[in-house]
Amino acid sequence: MLNGHDMWVAFEKDKTKRAFASVIRLRKELYTTIFRVSGDMDKYLEKLEDLHRQLASMNAIITDGEMANIILQGVETTHRSVVRLFNSPNMMGAGKLEPDLDVVLNTLRGEAERD
């Protein structure tokens, strides 16, 4: 018969496996979500921000710079000029390897309003 400690250890292992699987699933969804030509930019960005928050709540932190890159990757086929803009050294700044998340979000929302 299992004692309390053994039951707790088994419970923790089960929860850890489920949490890990959830993180993997959410990361996959975050990295593979693509904006479509007929899509709604606000809904697209809200979905990605929601996935970002869910991962953060599970201690699977994605930096703002990485999030900006993920977003740009998802709009690459529909907003090439925006992606090129953030690929330029002038936009990135000296010594900066990743774009600023807020600037990416505001730029894409502005582009969506113009369309």
Cα dihedral 22/27/32/36 (nearest 10): 90
- The burial of 111, by beta-carbon neighbours within 10 Å (0-12 exposed, 13-18 middle, 19 or more buried), is given as middle
For the segment 20-58, what is each residue's pLDDT rounded down to a tens digit?
Answer: 889 999 999 999 999 999 999 999 999 999 999 999 998
Q: What residue segments make up the domains of the chain, in order of their start?
A: 4-114
For the segment 100-111, what is each residue's pLDDT rounded down to a tens digit?
Answer: 999 999 999 998
* pTM score, whole prediction: 0.79
- The Cα–Cα gap between 64 and 86 comes to 14
